[in-house]
Amino acid sequence: MTITRLLVANRGEIASRVFRTCRRLGIETVAVHSDADACLPYVREADHAVRLPGDAPAESYLRADLLVEAAERAGADAVHPGYGFLSESAEFARAVEAAGLTWIGPAPGSIEAMGSKIEAKAIMKRAGVPVLEAPPDPTEADLPLLVKASAGGGGRGMRVVRVLADLEPEIAAAKAEAASAFGDGTVFVEPYVEHSRHVEVQVVGDGHGGVLVLGERDCSTQRRHQKVVEESPAPLLPDATRTALHDAARRAAAAIGYRGAGTVEFLYDPEGDRFWFLEMNTRLQVEHPVTEAVFGVDLVELQLAVAERGVMPDVSHGSPLASQGHAIEVRLYAEDPAAGYQPQSGTLAAFEISTGSITEAGAGIRVDAGYETGSEVSTFYDAMLAKVIAHAPSREQAVRMLAATLRRARIHGVVTNRDQLVRILGSEEFRAGAVSTDLLADGSLAVAEGPADPAAPRAAAIALAETTRRPGFPVAWRNVTSQPQRTRFEGDVVVEWYGTRTGYRVEGNDVIAVVPTGSTDEWRVTLETDGVRTTYDVAIRGRRGAETVDVDSPLGHTALRRVPRFTDPAEATKPGSLLAPMPGTVVAVHAEPGADVTAGQALVVLEAMKMQHTVSAPTDGVLTQVDVRPGIQVAAGEVLAVVSTGTGSTDEGEA
């Protein structure tokens, strides 16, 4: 069956990525989009687009009925599910096939078999693949243990148990979380392997037992069980183990007569050089580009070929497939690593990641992005903005190239994990290949070590000053100089500077030039320190006096928020105000106005991104004000409630 028009039942970067291959192959494309996603690039890139009313996944991308209907209405003859959402829903796969459309993925039976982690383990055990199993009644000797949701994915619902007494409560909590997140409260327990690595093998099956193995990927660098950095080949892996992993994956896929692209995940214990089957993902993985880079294949093309013709196309062109060089992918998330990886939302005032120019064979940067400059990032969906993939002859070169690309990327308006990614890539452990799922566990790479480039706020202050220039007059000119000008940024950053006859004087640097670059809101500031000149690109936006300033330089990005010179007392936040840490929905309010509260007492519970966040009383006192009730949506920074310390408030007038 020849595919002529393909609908991607997904959003963002993966939709764009599938469309790219379709365009190259001459296949027409159909996008579906929720209301929140209507303006994202993938919708424009498709030949046709179908709206799925509403924002929440449950109203849009998880509605199998609407998706099939959309495919029919748009005249599509195939559906690609991407990853996440319904990509591993056997039910959806069946609905697609029942509608006479081609399902780009494995047979629904394979999805079902692998979808239950418990059942999958049993199948793999029978096929001779090593699996991890905890005894039915664990004792102290079996600790630590890991509680996992059978239907889970992406780390949700996983809990590590180190004290036996915690096991039962953790199982109960995991069940509750799994039930709410996946609609299936089944959980299981397995041994927790410390300092383990996550190594997975890419397979493509023809549905008749033929399995193509496309090497492995190391996805050990994770935060809260979410992959952040992925690479191929896996570093520091003995060849024999590598081969054994590939064979195990082949057996696993063959055991279920697997069709299409899939990934067999293993837990690898580098100390004992042992591995165990974890699960099989019956879809295209987020991190598939690293495999594509080193093998020079297009996995989506392979998926389409298998789906269309039921046979494995010859991708090796006669010679055995071999991995070339090293590829590393990082996932750029709209999240704040320094604030517990809280998802971030907002408008991407700038989103430019340079792919550079490919000058050497096999070296280059690939960016798979779901967003562009001007895009609105919502918290309705996964927080991933883009994947950046570097491919170079050696791991070292790929790491360096990727770090440089990230440093130079212009990402304004939304907090991302970019700096953390740069720190990971720059860390000694990572550079040495000593990757492990614990790398980010202690949080040390979540925040910058030393102070940020002190010159960046100076460049920002000078560019801000330049926006105030009255033509013909030196900025902040004084015939009698009494004090420096002070530009304040949030975080107690104060830049003191003087306007001079011809420019600016700021401690620490000589100001060489400040010139507009295009619009009045973007400036290029050249500073000199000890004879070395560095250029800072400064982008300014927001209300005058309270601007947001983004400074990009070869040393990286600095986002600064101006502290206004004056605050209208009527607009000032009352002391003791509790602010929403992120946009979300209020799910519970635990105290009434007037109640005595103690420090740490949970007052308001917010839900965002399926995670619950508790806002607690900062001090002992009286809850004088509650501004929210369950069910309402709040924006980040909104006042939820006010706790007054009760005493010492006599100086507060009736403002």
Partner 1 sequence: MTNREAMLEKLESLDAEHAKAVAGGGQKYVERHHARGKLLARERIELLIDEGSPFLELSPLAGWGSDFAVGASLVTGIGVVEGVECLITANDPTVKGGASNPYTLRKSFRAAQIAEENDLPTINLVESGGADLPTQKDIFIPGGRTFRNLTRASAGRRPTIALVFGNSTAGGAYIPGMSDYVVMVRNRAKVFLGGPPLVKMATGEESDDESLGGAEMHARTSGLADYLAEDEYDALRLGRRIVARLNRERVSGETFAEPDADPEELLDLIPADLKEPFDPREVIRRLVDGRGPGNEQVFDEFKPLYGPSLVTGWARLHGHQIGILANAQGVLFSEESQKATQFIQLANQIDCPLLFLHNTTGYMVGADYEQRGIIKHGSMMINAVSNSTVPHLTVIMGASYGAGNYGMNGRAYDPRFLFTWPSAKSAVMGPAQLAGVMSIVSRASAASKGQPFDEEADAQMRAYVEQMVEEQSLPYVLSGLVYDDGVIDPRDTRTVLGICLSVIARQPIRGTQSWGVFRP
- Smallest distance, partner 1 to C-beta of residue 463, A: 11
The tokens for 45 are 């890139």
Q: Which of 501, 531, 532, 592 binds partner 1 (CB under 8 A)?
A: 501
- Smallest distance, partner 1 to C-beta of residue 399, A: 43
CA atoms within 13 A on the CB side of 513: 10
Q: Which of 26, 183, 272, 653 binds partner 1 (CB under 8 A)?
A: 653
Neighbours of 186 (CB within 10 A): 17
Contact between 469 and partner 1 per CB under 8 A: yes
Contact between 650 and partner 1 per CB under 8 A: no
Q: Which of 243, 444, 468, 517 binds partner 1 (CB under 8 A)?
A: 468
Task: Report the amino acid identity of residue 424.
Answer: I
Name which of 139 and 479 has its Cβ closer to partner 1: 479
* Residue 172: alpha-carbon gap to chain centroid: 28
Helical H runs in 591-654? none
Contact between 485 and partner 1 per CB under 8 A: yes
Contact between residue 624 and residue 593 where contact means Cβ atoms under 8 Å apart: yes
Contact between 364 and partner 1 per CB under 8 A: no
For the packed helices 395-408 and 418-426, what is the interaxial angle rounded to 10 degrees? 150
Name which of 486 and 610 has its Cβ closer to partner 1: 486
Q: How far is it, in rounded angstroms, from Cα 540 to Cα 562?
A: 10
Name which of 352 and 496 has its Cβ closer to partner 1: 496
Task: Report the amino acid identity of residue 651.
Answer: D
- Smallest distance, partner 1 to C-beta of residue 594, A: 27
- Smallest distance, partner 1 to C-beta of residue 645, A: 20
Interacting positions 521-560 with partner 1 (CB under 8 A): 545
- Smallest distance, partner 1 to C-beta of residue 493, A: 17
Pair type for strands 621-626 and 596-597: antiparallel
Beta strands in 503-572 (DSSP E): 504-506, 509-516, 522-529, 532-541, 548-553, 556-561
The DSSP code for 102 is E
Q: Which of 428, 566, 592, 650 binds partner 1 (CB under 8 A)?
A: 566
Q: Which of 24, 208, 309, 478 binds partner 1 (CB under 8 A)?
A: 478
Q: How far is it, in rounded angstroms, from Cα 245 to Cα 328?
A: 20
Contact between residue 32 and residue 8 where contact means Cβ atoms under 8 Å apart: yes
The DSSP code for 591 is -
Q: Which of 126, 565, 610, 629 binds partner 1 (CB under 8 A)?
A: 565
Contact range with partner 1 by CB under 8 A, out of 170-178, 225-233, 471-479, 595-603:
471-479
Contact between 483 and partner 1 per CB under 8 A: yes
- Smallest distance, partner 1 to C-beta of residue 572, A: 9
Contact range with partner 1 by CB under 8 A, out of 97-105, 144-152, 245-253, 473-481:
473-481
- Smallest distance, partner 1 to C-beta of residue 571, A: 11
- Smallest distance, partner 1 to C-beta of residue 497, A: 10
Contact between 474 and partner 1 per CB under 8 A: yes
The tokens for 417 are 């994990």
Name which of 309 and 477 has its Cβ closer to partner 1: 477
Contact between 479 and partner 1 per CB under 8 A: yes
Contact between residue 248 and residue 445 where contact means Cβ atoms under 8 Å apart: no
Contact between 515 and partner 1 per CB under 8 A: no
Name which of 2 and 479 has its Cβ closer to partner 1: 479
| Residues near partner 1 (CB under 8 A), total | 29
Q: How far is it, in rounded angstroms, from Cα 123 to Cα 40?
A: 41
Residues sharing a CB contact under 8 Å with residue 117, sequence separation 6 or more, in sequence order: 148, 150, 151, 152, 188, 279
Beta strands in 517-630 (DSSP E): 522-529, 532-541, 548-553, 556-561, 577-579, 584-589, 596-597, 602-608, 611-616, 621-626
Q: How far is it, in rounded angstroms, from Cα 34 to Cα 55?
A: 5
Q: Which of 183, 531, 569, 631 binds partner 1 (CB under 8 A)?
A: 569
Backbone angles phi, psi at 290, to 5 degrees: -65, -35
| Run of H or E residues at 307 | helix 299-309
CA 360 to each of CA 296, 323, 355, 396: distance values in angstroms, whole numbers, following the listed order: 15, 17, 14, 15
- Smallest distance, partner 1 to C-beta of residue 488, A: 11
Q: Which of 123, 193, 475, 578 binds partner 1 (CB under 8 A)?
A: 475
Contact range with partner 1 by CB under 8 A, out of 118-126, 278-286, 476-484, 641-649:
476-484
Q: Which of 165, 357, 470, 543 binds partner 1 (CB under 8 A)?
A: 470
Contact between 443 and partner 1 per CB under 8 A: no
Neighbours of 407 (CB within 10 A): 19
Q: What is residue 52's three-state secondary structure?
A: coil
The tokens for 262 are 């899939």
Name which of 126 and 574 has its Cβ closer to partner 1: 574
Residues sharing a CB contact under 8 Å with residue 573, sequence separation 6 or more, in sequence order: 579, 639
Q: Sort residue 301 into left (φ over 0), alpha (ψ -120 to 50) or beta.
A: alpha
Contact between 505 and partner 1 per CB under 8 A: no
For the packed helices 108-115 and 90-98, what is the interaxial angle rounded to 10 degrees? 170
- Smallest distance, partner 1 to C-beta of residue 350, A: 25
- Smallest distance, partner 1 to C-beta of residue 512, A: 17
Contact between residue 358 and residue 364 where contact means Cβ atoms under 8 Å apart: yes
Contact range with partner 1 by CB under 8 A, out of 43-51, 194-202, 463-471, 515-523:
463-471
Contact between 467 and partner 1 per CB under 8 A: yes
Contact range with partner 1 by CB under 8 A, out of 75-83, 118-126, 474-482, 550-558:
474-482
Contact range with partner 1 by CB under 8 A, out of 74-82, 320-328, 565-573, 593-601:
565-573
Contact between residue 563 and residue 572 where contact means Cβ atoms under 8 Å apart: no
The tokens for 164 are 């036996």
Q: How far is it, in rounded angstroms, from Cα 312 to Cα 376?
A: 40
Name which of 240 and 655 has its Cβ closer to partner 1: 655
Q: Which of 473, 554, 574, 610 binds partner 1 (CB under 8 A)?
A: 473
Q: Which of 136, 318, 320, 472 binds partner 1 (CB under 8 A)?
A: 472
Q: Which of 137, 492, 568, 592 binds partner 1 (CB under 8 A)?
A: 568
Residues at the interface with partner 1 (CB under 8 A): 465, 467-483, 485, 499, 501, 545, 565-569, 653, 655
